[in-house]
Chains A and B, each alone.
Chain A
Amino acid sequence: AQSVSQHNHHVILSEAASLELGCNYSYGGTVNLFWYVQYPGQHLQLLLKYFSGDPLVKGIKGFEAEFIKSKFSFNLRKPSVQWSDTAEYFCAVMGSGGYNKLIFGAGTRLAVHP
């Protein structure tokens, strides 16, 4: 069965600090990987996604993620966070093909202090 594990449930950083959020998945086939962000009071938004090709993907707002197949990982990074990055971040996995379900990790709540 598919599963997604996010290691950090709650992260607190100061502005300008670097960010790395861990995500590991379990799936027995080719996967598509996603990071979503949920700002306070807002709906889920797609940060970035990986389907194939370059394992280093760049998303919106300066975020990037690296797919390491051998480690079943898809960690999210940002070199310098801002107060506005305070939000909850969800890693998600979907088996490749059009009829698979999107499975979410538990989420990581990020708080950035000015």
Chain B
Amino acid sequence: GAVVSQHPSWVICKSGTSVKIECRSLDFQATTMFWYRQFPKQSLMLMATSNEGSKATYEQGVEKDKFLINHASLTLSTLTVTSAHPEDSSFYICSARDKSGLNYEQYFGPGTRLTVT
């Protein structure tokens, strides 16, 4: 099956610094990638949708200047949390939609746990 990887799997950073998370589709091309945030014992909340070569579309309430998304190729999207604060600590999950698929199935990465101290 299709595989999506994320790097790093966990990261600890100091308040005020920036952190970049990578999401790669390993064996398929992803027209669209999604970034979700999951709080403990809660569901996945969609943060933004990114299409290769164009600007990301952010969900209401998500600060686009704080969560920078780049989707430079059909296999790579990055999420940069800028000037991170403790309240940004969370589990970030990316998902990729197969370009060739007719059923628009999304494949999920393993997630990145961010802790801001």
Contact = CB atoms under 8 A, between A and B. Distances in A.
B19 interface: no
Given A43-B110, A44-B93, A109-B41, A51 B46 contact: no
Contacts of A102: 34, 46, 95, 106
A32 B43 contact: no
A106 B95 contact: no
Nearest to A88: B41
Given A42-B110, A43-B109, A106 B103 contact: no
Contacts of A49: 103, 105
A109 B32 CA distance: 29
A100 B111 CA distance: 22
Interface residues of A, number: 23
B46 A103 contact: yes
A104 B44 contact: yes
B103 A51 contact: yes
A49 B110 CA distance: 20
Interface residues of B, number: 20
Interface in A64-114: 90, 94, 97-107, 109
B2 to A, nearest CB: 10
Contact of A105 (B34, B43, B104, B105): B43
B108 A44 contact: yes
Interface in B15-36: 32, 34
A45 B110 CA distance: 10
A46 interface: yes
A22 B34 CA distance: 26
B49 A101 contact: yes
30 contacts: A32-B104, A36-B108, A42-B110, A43-B93, A43-B109, A43-B110, A44-B44, A44-B93, A45-B108, A49-B103, A49-B105, A51-B103, A94-B104, A97-B104, A98-B97, A98-B104, A99-B32, A101-B34, A101-B46, A102-B34, A102-B46, A102-B95, A104-B43, A104-B44, A104-B45, A105-B43, A106-B42, A106-B43, A107-B42, A109-B41
Interface of B: 32, 34, 41-46, 49, 93, 95, 97, 103-106, 108-111
